[in-house]
Amino acid sequence: MSAEIIPLKTRARSAAPTLDPMLTLTAQGMNSVNTVILDRMQSEIPLIPALAGHLISGGGKRLRPMLTLAGAELVGYTGTRHHRLAAAVEFIHTATLLHDDVVDGSDLRRGKAAANIIFGNPATVLVGDFLFSRAFELMTEDGSLKVLKILSGASAIIAEGEVDQLTAQRQIETSEERYLNIIGAKTAALFAAASRISAVVAECDERQEHALDDYGRNLGIAFQLVDDAIDYDSDAAEMGKDRGDDFREGKMTLPVILAYARGDEGERKFWREAISGHRTSDADLGEAIALIGRHDAVEATRERARHFAQRAVDAISIFPDGKARAAMAEAAMFAVARGY
C-alpha cells in the first residue's frame, strides 16, 4: 500500500519544522560522538588532522550520526556502542565529501573554501582514505560482523552511486528512474545504514531493523531531492556553495530532468547544449532557472521529496509514540522544508 502524502502546507498555524527536537534528543550522545571523532582524526602527520578538521568542524548538520543516536533512543538502547559507530558513520560521510569535492572541482563546501582548494587534490583524496580507514577501525573494534556488513556494504553502494552519477553526467536522456537509483545509492544508503545499526546493537528483531532502514533510506532520498532543488532555488549564501554548480557540471538532477521532459523543442535544444557543456555562462544559468520555474520543476521535485519524507515517517509508526519518534518525524519534515 502506498503511503499517504501529507503536504507540508497542512501544518498551517504551527511552527515550521526544525531539527531542534532531534538536536535536543541526541545532544548528550553527540558529545560522546564528537569526542571519538576528535580523537580518531588525530595523526602524527599534521596535515591529516588539519585537513580533516577543516571539513569536520565546518558546520555540517551531522544528521547521519544523529540518526544512529536517535534510532537507539527509539528502540530503548542504553549502552554506548552506538557512539563509536555513529562516529564511523560521520567519517564515512566526510571521506565521501572530500572525494566528491575533488571529482567535482568544487570551490565551496559549507560556505567555506573546499579542502581541495586549500590543500590540493592529492592531499584531499588521501585524507579521505585515512578517514575511511578510521571508520573501518571503529567498525571492527565494535566486534559485530552484522554491523560491519551493513556499514561496509553501504560504503560500497555509495561508491557505486558516485560512479553511476559520473557516467550519467552530461547525459541528457538520463531518466528519473536512473536518477532515483543514483541518489538512492550515493546518499540514501548511508542514511539507511546509520539508522539500521541502532536496531542491531540493541538486538532488535528484523521487523524493527527494516523499519529503521526504511526510515533512513526514504529520508535520504528526500534529503537529496531537496538538495538538488535548492541548486536552482536558493542563493549561494544559503547553500554554502556556488549556485549553479550542478548546472555547470552537467549533472542530470530531477529539476533538469522534469524541465527537459516538459519543455518544447526549443527548450530541449537549450538543455542539450547546456548539459553537454556548451552553455554554462551566468546568463545560461539564468535561462535554466527560468525554464525550471516555468515548468514548476523545483516544486515538483519538492513534492516528490515530501512523498519520501512521509514514507520515512510511516516506517517508524511501528514504534511507540514518544519524544524519539516525534523528533525523527520532525527531522523528516525539516529535510523537505529547508532552504539550505
- Return the CATH number at 120: 1.10.600.10
pLDDT score recorded for residue 110: 66
Using the predicted structure, report yes or no on whether residue 222 has a pLDDT greater than 90: yes
Q: Tell whether 10 is covered by a domain.
A: no
Q: 100-120 pLDDT, tens per residue?
A: 989 888 777 766 788 888 899
Residue 294 domain flag: yes
Report how many domains make up the chain: 1
The count of other CB atoms within 10 Å of the CB of residue 243 is 20
Residue 99 forms part of a structural domain: yes
Q: What's the pTM?
A: 0.91
> Taking CA 71 as the corner, what is the angle to CA 161 and CA 6, rounded to the nearest 5 degrees?
75
Residue (of 182, 180, 176) closest to 260 by Cα position: 176
Question: Mean pLDDT lowest for which of 35-44, 161-170, 229-238, 252-261?
Answer: 229-238
For residue range 120-147, list pLDDT tens digits in order.
999 999 999 999 999 999 999 999 999 9
Please indicate, yes or no, if residue 5 is contained in any of the structural domains: no
**Does some domain include residue 9?**
no
d(C-alpha 284, C-alpha 256), whole Å = 13
Joined together, the cell numbers standing for residue 25 give 534528543
**Cell for 52?**
580533516
Residues 6 or more apart from 8 whose CB is under 8 A from it? 17, 306, 333, 336, 337
Residue 113: strand pairing partners: 108
2 domain residue, yes or no: no
78 in any annotated domain: yes
User: Is residue 21, in this structure, part of any structural domain at all?
Assistant: yes
pLDDT of residue 257: 98
- The continuous run of DSSP H or E covering 5 comes out as none
The torsion angles phi and psi of 108, rounded to 5 degrees, stand at -125, 150
CB neighbour list of residue 90: distance below 8 Å, 6 or more residues apart: 33, 37, 56, 62, 64, 65
Q: Look at 307 and 241; give whichever has higher pLDDT.
A: 307
Structural domain of 214: 17-337
